[in-house]
Amino acid sequence: MSMTINSPSIVDDSAFTVTRTIMIAAPVDKVWSAVAEPEHVSRWFGRLELDGTGAGAAGTLSWTDGPRIPIRVETVDEPRSISYRWGNDDASGTMSAELDDATSTVFTFTLVATDEGTELTVVETGFERTSDPAFNLAEHGKGWNGELDKLAALFENEAG
């Protein structure tokens, strides 16, 4: 089995965005489930718990060694894109239990079918509203590298 090599995140300090695109050797519907359905998101990202489905569904994202981060589904265009707003301000040192639209960021997954499977792009925006934009951009850039590598590995392992 060969591992797909994906480029790292691109941090754009002037636009306050983090972008990463990876290739996944799986059809769009499978990748959609992995980024949109809580039970599948929880297999590679944090534990996602939502109070419903579709735009407006809210809840938390958590890891075993960290706080519960408030999150909300902003938009859904199945199976092409899904956006989440979350209150993951790493630089603040504390996590609020409530999602604050004025200080939170939004990440959007966009899926495109290719001959090889699915091109998945994540773009996270809104860092200019966080407590320390430069720090959060750098941390989230590293974070998307690790998290999307786990997602790609999940599909590679299932194929192998």
pLDDT greater than 60 at residue 1: no
Q: Look at residue 158 in the predicted model and tell me its pLDDT.
A: 83
The verdict on residue 117 lying in a domain is yes
Alpha-carbon distance 60 to 51, whole Å? 9
Give the pLDDT confidence of 58-112 residue by residue, as tens digits.
Answer: 999 999 888 899 999 999 999 999 999 999 998 888 878 899 999 999 999 999 9
Q: What is the pTM of this model?
A: 0.95
The verdict on residue 5 lying in a domain is no
For residues 119-128, average pLDDT: 98
Alpha-carbon distance 93 to 71, whole Å? 18
Give the count of domains, the chain. Answer: 1
The whole domain housing 85 covers 10-159
The verdict on residue 1 lying in a domain is no
Token readout for 113 is: 């079918």
